[in-house]
Amino acid sequence: MKQPSNQPLRGGDHRLPTLPQIVPLGDCALLVRFGQSLDDAANRAALVFAARLKADGIIGVVEIVPSLVSVLVRFDPAQVGVARLSGELALRLSGDGAFGESRTHRIAVRFDGPDLGEVAALLGLSIDGFVEAHNRGGMRVLATGFAPGFVYCGFHEKSLTVPRRTLVRPQVSAGSVLFAAGQTAIAATDIPTGWHVIGHTQFRNFDPTVNPPTQLRAGDQIIFEVVL
């Protein structure tokens, strides 16, 4: 892996930064960026790195938040300085990594969403053809967030890529199965969205009465199954 950079680009310098890149965010956070846009390799690298940090328990680190292609590291400046922590992170960016133990979840989906026909037509497929292609092979939880229990799953083949809707729906219900940009997402609560709604599931990835409140975590494998 290339040596990480923690030097911001100078004004007028439009070269892309060397990745991974360590970027300070205020006085008590660092962002480790693995990609400029979403891709499988950058997402995997971010998840591996976050797992490594959580396992190591670096003194002064108070929160580790993986996202699609980066990892946010919050720290207590009274316990560790920026320079010291940047060095600790850089050390852990070298070498290969692997996911921690991942789990496989089978999620039953009723493909009855209001955008299902439109999505299939955009891809030049019948509805049955789209559902078959959508469920072909397993998917991986890329990240969680945006709303409680919300999960991003990817990646579909490039031939199954459609843009988001031009108009945002003010609200879709919990359990909505969403599709856009080569990914499928599952809403665990009522949310606004610009993604296409292709179906619904009884599975809920958020229950505030249990600990932990979510079942899915980044790196888990997902198999979607049709329910009539």
The CATH number that applies at residue 134 is 2.40.100.10
pLDDT at 91: 84
d(CA 147, CA 115): 22
What pLDDT is stored for residue 98 in this prediction? 56
Same domain, 133 and 171: yes
Q: End of a domain among 72, 93, 114?
A: 93
Residue 146, domain member (yes or no): yes
- Domain hosting residue 49, numbered range: 21-93
In a domain, 6, yes or no: no
Residue 1, CA distances (Å) to 20, 21, 117 in order: 9, 12, 44
* Same domain, yes or no: 66 and 122: no
- Rounded Cα distance, 132 and 135, in Å: 5
**Residue 44 within any structural domain of the chain:** yes
Are residues 30 and 75 in contact, defined by beta-carbon separation less than 8 angstroms? yes
Based on the fold, state whether residues 182 and 131 are members of the same structural domain.
Answer: yes
Q: pLDDT below 50 — which residues of the chain?
A: 1-3, 6-16
Domain co-membership, 122 together with 69? no
Strands 104-109 and 221-226: parallel
User: Whole-model pTM?
Assistant: 0.73
Q: Which two tokens stand for residue 54?
A: 């959580």
**Residues 112, 46 share a domain:** no
Q: Report the domain count for the chain.
A: 2
Strand 139-144 and strand 183-186: the pairing is unpaired
129/137 Cα distance (integer angstroms): 14
| 214 and 112 fall within a common domain | yes
32 found inside a domain = yes
CA distance 184 to 101: 22
Q: Is residue 39 part of a domain?
A: yes
Q: Per DSSP, which regions of the chain are E strands?
A: 21-24, 29-33, 61-66, 70-75, 104-109, 139-144, 151-154, 169-172, 176-180, 183-186, 191-193, 196-200, 221-226
Identify the pLDDT of residue 4: 55
